[in-house]
Amino acid sequence: MPFIANTDKDREEMLKTIGVKSVDDLFADIPAAHRFPKLNLPKPLSEPEVLKEVEAMAAKNLTANNSAWFLGAGAYDHFIPAIVPQMAGRGEFLTAYTPYEPEVSQGTLQAIFEYESMAGELLGVEVMNASHYDVATALAEAVIMAHRVGPSRPRVLIPAALHPEYKAVLATYLAPISSLKVEEYEGEPGKAKLGDDVACLVMAYPEFTGEIRDIGAGSENAHKAGALAIVQADPMMCAILKSPGELGADIVVAEGQSLGNPMNYGGPFLGMMGTSEKLMRRMPGRIVGEAYDHEGRKGYVLTLSAREQHIRREKAVSNICSNEGLTMLQTCIYLAAMGRQGMQAAAELCWNKAHYAASLIGKLPGYAVQNKNFFEEFTVKTPVAAEKIATKLSRKGIVPGFPVSRYDKKRPDELIVCVTEMRSKDEIELLASSLKEAAK
Amino acid sequence: MNIRPEANIYDLSKPGRTTAVLPALDTPKTAIPAKLRRENLNLPEIDEETLARHFTRLSQKNYSVDSCFYPLGSCTMKYNPKVNEVAAAQPGWLGAHPLAGEEFCQGSLELIYKLQDMLAKIGGFSACSLQPAAGAHGELSGVLMIRAYHVSRGDTKRTKMLIPDSAHGTNPASSAMAGFTVVTIPSDSDGGVDMKALKEALAGDAGKEVAGLMITNPNTLGLFEKNIEEIAKLVHEAGGLVYGDGANLNALTGVLRPADVGIDVMHFNLHKTFSTPHGGGGPGSGMIGANKKLQDFLPGPIVVMKGERYGLEQPAKSIGHVKAFYGNFGVMTRAYTYLRMLGAAGLRAVAENAVLNANYMKVLIEKNYTLKYPRRCMHEFVASGDVAEGIKTIDIAKGLIDAGFHPPTIYFPLIVNEAIMIEPTETESKETMDEFADAMAKLAAEAKSNPAALHAAPVTTPVGRLDEVAAARQPVLSYTGRK
């Protein structure tokens, strides 16, 4: 049998030691009527056969590797240095469990500590946790955290232009908390109408449309009302634009997929979350800190565990247990590999290429760029249905962006275009000429 | 194991060094407005060789399944076949985008569809969703489904979730997140659910407030709940639903379909039972399966056939999205590969060898350690580590580290004093188990002859026992946070 070391002889010896005649005897507690059902599964494949099948399936996808790719909308095609998967894929990292035994988990623990340090710097927060499933769940947990900080404040304000997937996940997580009401605000967070009944003001940096709002004014607005400022940020953008922490955020969440993790059809991603020292004991998720042994040697441990489910059970701040450890490790290695210069250079490439693309598309007849300030993603009004353009061009191997109508049928003529450092000038010009062609 | 201290990444930094080599700008430049621009970015600057050595050395400070026996109870630390990694690393997977449109993602959709189908069959469920990203995430989804089911029937008084005292902490935490009040059901002298207490919790008006029961079977003692059909019947008669925690499914693959004994909704941990690596804490995948009664409430979207093509669909009465997009696809590709290589016979062999290994190990360990519930176990069992005066389970665990083994799960479940929970899994050989049992026997002897040595363990690791109390009192949580 695949992946099993026991030989028939081993099994015989073990059964003898146990004192039973057959393996079936070990299952006597299982209700006899239901024991050993016939499972109608496909017949097993050998290793070369399964790889052939999987390769053939994977080849059916249109991907950023085999086309000109301008689709972002929550999953981004950024460069991943070769060292990232090479190091993260080492068996000692890959096949270890959560670092519950610190003496034999110092590798994982120190890597988490280094991630907390670098990610905290990038996002401008004092304390990071070791990850959530993705930014959508991180945001939902951040709102629940704000609710625990201000339980008598029933209102949660979110931007109308928050990513629709994040809105949906937030609604699912908040459904059981009947006292909380989610309201949407349009435009600048600094102008959202708040009061002393608001638990938190959520801001997107940038919005789903790519628009960058004044987060500083929004944070001030929140703080005046005694509410928490929660920012959902693009971490790549934070390499060159002001960090959410610098702009006054109390809790920052970000999608770490952009930082060293492939798009992988939407997962695994990396929910990054950080906050201030003041609020850290209310933050969910695992946190690693420095510790010393009796000889004074420095090491790292999981800390502030009194917040967590394995200690507090139903009184825990969250149910999270398994997280996205390996994608966090990829991001840790990525941040170190890119470093200060690499992060700034990559983000500047995104900025410049996206602005070049916007300038070309903005000149096309019938097209209009909607944004005032953006980083690598912007929204374009299209002369014909955006869905039509996207399908037509995708079939030619040019993926021009995200038609907003896929989430909102009432917005048929909006296309969100994303240009990362991976796109060449030639590809950008091909996009512009193809959009022009597609409008005819 | 590498026991030399390894510098923090920031201490390796030197201005002017870099690893990443990026293309030059080939388009015109656009100035970044000063009011948006960031001034400083304090990230390290490191060359690739230094970086490779840093992370290689860090990796060598870990115990892992690839390097040693890792019998962490309830975590199913089986060997993760390398073919999974090759299958998951296809460029066609890695570069696929969740919003590219169904027409352009037929490969990914096909894999999810086929995996959904195999997993539903293994559990006996009519449908499943692969959206949850971890076991606890599956639990949350499942109890939200139970909540939505009752609400959809106008039955809004059901606010209580029954949970046995042997359950993982995630069960009560997930129930609380879904708005339920947790009612703890004690275990009986045989290690199973106390039927008298269960009946009391379900009787009369109290029963009308019960939304459901969360049950782990085999439970965290490694024991099969023999009364499972009776338990499910009682909960159903009271109008409640039964949630199955699939953490211990490795004992049952091809042996029992949980739906056949009354489980309405259940999560499977692909990162335990279906051999995807734990990655130092994740990512996982907490597939959730449901019977006919609950399938319309599944989180989604899930993958369905739309004519000749695969497509996405939100179940009719779905609790909604529990995660952006469709789940941890990179975990699914690994589990799919594993299942296609095993087939039905291979799956049954998994459970058979997991249970055989655990029972063999139990006989060897019982010679020196006491078991609160000595009956035949399933895929794991729980002993107590207090083998001598002044010796605790933690001392045995740390002693095992010096013997070259990762310790079992300790101090869990909470209902066993000085618990030490051992799960060998089916992939371990008899020789490895003999070596481990031998080490456990030596530690039991040392506990009596030289307890001081055990109190000092481990001595072969980069650090000894760390002062966790001091670490939590004055936390240092980042390089720059050091005062």
Task: For chain A, give percent helix, strand, coil, nearest 5.
Answer: 40, 15, 40
Q: State which residues form the domain around A419.
A: 68-79+340-438
**What are the residues facing A302 on neighbouring strands?**
A288
Beta-carbon separation of A47 and B360 below 8 A: no
C-beta separation of A423 from A69 below 8 A: yes
Q: Domain boundary residue among A284, A300, A335?
A: A335
Q: Domain B85-341 adopts which CATH fold?
A: Aspartate Aminotransferase; domain 2 (3.40.640)
For residue A440, the model assigns a pLDDT of 84
- Evaluate the CA torsion angle B421, B422, B425, B427 in order and state its sign: positive
For residue A328, the model assigns a pLDDT of 98
* Exposed/middle/buried for residue B436 (C-beta within 10 Å: 0-12, 13-18, 19+): buried
- ipTM beyond cut 0.95: yes
- Residue whose pair of structure tokens reads 């912007």 in the numeric block: A378
Q: Which chain B positions have a beta carbon within 8 Å of A329's beta carbon?
A: 279-280
For residue A125, the model assigns a pLDDT of 97
Per-residue pLDDT reduced to its tens digit, A191-240:
999 999 999 999 999 999 999 999 999 999 999 999 999 999 999 999 99
d(CA B41, CA A241): 10
Q: Domain boundary residue among A296, A317, A335?
A: A335
Task: Give domain status of residue A21, yes or no.
Answer: no
For residue B483, the model assigns a pLDDT of 44
CB contact residues (below 8 A), chain B span 237-296, against chain A: 252, 254-257, 260-261, 269, 271, 275, 277-284, 286
What is the total count of domains within chain A?
Answer: 2
DSSP classification of residue A44: P
For residue A54, the model assigns a pLDDT of 98
- Residue whose pair of structure tokens reads 């339920």 in the numeric block: B180
- Residue whose pair of structure tokens reads 């199973």 in the numeric block: B192
Q: What percent of chain B has pLDDT over 70?
A: 100
Say if residue A114 is in the same domain as residue A220: yes
To the question of domain B349-468 being in CATH 3.20.20.70, the answer is no
| Mean pLDDT computed over A381-397 | 98
d(CA B52, CA B315): 46
Residue B482 pLDDT more than 80? no
* Exposed/middle/buried for residue A48 (C-beta within 10 Å: 0-12, 13-18, 19+): exposed
Per-residue pLDDT reduced to its tens digit, A23-82:
999 999 999 999 999 999 999 999 999 999 999 999 999 999 999 999 999 999 999 999
Task: Give domain status of residue A256, yes or no.
Answer: yes
- Name the phi and psi angles at B123, rounded to 5: -90, -10
d(CA A124, CA A40): 53
Task: Give domain status of residue A47, yes or no.
Answer: no
Say if residue A257 is in the same domain as residue A381: no
**What are the residues facing B290 on neighbouring strands?**
B127, B265
Say if residue A149 is in the same domain as residue A103: yes
**What are the residues facing A374 on neighbouring strands?**
A211
Equal fold, B85-341 vs B349-468: no
- Written as six digits, the tokens of B439 are 């080490």
- Does B78 touch chain A if contact means CB atoms closer than 8 Å? yes
DSSP-derived pairing of the beta strands B181-185 and B210-216: unpaired
Residue B37 pLDDT more than 60? yes
Domain spans of chain B? 85-341, 349-468
Say if residue A326 is in the same domain as residue A375: no
H or E element that contains B82: helix B82-88
Say if residue A148 is in the same domain as residue A260: yes
Q: Which chain A positions have a beta carbon within 8 Å of B61's beta carbon?
A: 104-107, 110
Per-residue pLDDT reduced to its tens digit, A361-376:
999 999 999 999 999 9
- Does A59 touch chain B if contact means CB atoms closer than 8 Å? yes
Per-residue pLDDT reduced to its tens digit, A110-126:
999 999 999 999 999 99
Say if residue A212 is in the same domain as residue A162: yes
Nearest CB to B104; choose among A165, A304, A394: A394
- Does A410 touch chain B if contact means CB atoms closer than 8 Å? no
The string of DSSP letters for B312-332 reads EE--TT----SSSTTS-HHHH
- Written as six digits, the tokens of A36 are 């050993």
Task: Give domain status of residue A136, yes or no.
Answer: yes
- Evaluate the CA torsion angle A337, A342, A344, A348 in order and state its sign: negative
Residue A398 pLDDT more than 90? yes
- Identify the band that residue A309 occupies on the pLDDT scale cut at 50, 70 and 90: confident
d(CA B272, CA A41): 20
- Does B350 touch chain A if contact means CB atoms closer than 8 Å? yes
- Max Cα–Cα distance, chain A, nearest Å: 83
Beta-carbon separation of B344 and A38 below 8 A: yes
Say if residue A250 is in the same domain as residue A331: yes
- Name the phi and psi angles at B381, rounded to 5: -150, 165
**What are the residues facing B422 on neighbouring strands?**
B72, B381
Task: Give domain status of residue A52, yes or no.
Answer: no
DSSP classification of residue B403: T
Of B204, B255, B256, B265, the closest CA to residue B232 belongs to: B265
Q: What percent of chain B has pLDDT over 90?
A: 99
Beta-carbon separation of B23 and A402 below 8 A: no
Say if residue A318 is in the same domain as residue A363: no
DSSP-derived pairing of the beta strands A377-381 and A414-418: antiparallel
d(CA B435, CA A377): 58
For residue B480, the model assigns a pLDDT of 82
Per-residue pLDDT reduced to its tens digit, B230-264:
999 999 999 999 999 999 999 999 999 999 999 99
Say if residue A322 is in the same domain as residue A369: no
Say if residue A200 is in the same domain as residue A95: yes
Cβ density class B299-326: b for 16+ within 10 Å, e for less: bbbbbbeeeeebbbeebeebbbbbbbbb
d(CA A291, CA A293): 7
Of A325, A309, A326, the closest CA to residue A317 belongs to: A309
User: What's the mean pLDDT when you consider all of chain B?
Assistant: 97
For residue B481, the model assigns a pLDDT of 72
Q: What percent of chain A has pLDDT over 70?
A: 100
Residue A94 pLDDT more than 70? yes
- Residue whose pair of structure tokens reads 């060359």 in the numeric block: B47
Three-class secondary structure of residue B214 per DSSP: strand
Mutate which: B10, B47, B62, B76, vs A, most A CBs within 10 A: B62
CB contact residues (below 8 A), chain A span 222-281, against chain B: 238-243, 246, 262-269, 277, 280
d(CA B211, CA A176): 14
Alpha carbon distances (Å) from A50 to B109, B265, B339: 17, 30, 10
- What torsion, rounded to 10 degrees, do the Cα atoms A97, A101, A102, A105 define? -30
Chain Cα centroid distance, residue B380 = 15
Task: Give domain status of residue A329, yes or no.
Answer: yes
Residue A1 pLDDT more than 90? no
Distance from CA of A30 to the nearest CA of B (A): 7
For A239-389, strand residue ranges (E) read: 251-255, 271-275, 287-292, 298-303, 368-369, 377-381
Q: Domain boundary residue among A309, A335, A361?
A: A335
Task: Give domain status of residue A213, yes or no.
Answer: yes
Task: Give domain status of residue A350, yes or no.
Answer: yes
Beta-carbon separation of A120 and B20 below 8 A: no
| Mean pLDDT computed over B356-380 | 97
Residue type, A318: S
Say if residue A370 is in the same domain as residue A405: yes
- What torsion, rounded to 10 degrees, do the Cα atoms B399, B402, B406, B408 define? -10
Per-residue pLDDT reduced to its tens digit, B282-298:
999 999 999 999 999 99
Say if residue A92 is in the same domain as residue A160: yes
CATH number of the domain at A414, please.
Answer: 3.90.1150.10
For residue A287, the model assigns a pLDDT of 97
CATH number of the domain at A148, please.
Answer: 3.40.640.10
Residue B278 pLDDT more than 70? yes
Beta-carbon separation of B169 and A311 below 8 A: yes
Poorest-pLDDT segment among A93-97, A110-114, B411-415, B418-422: B411-415
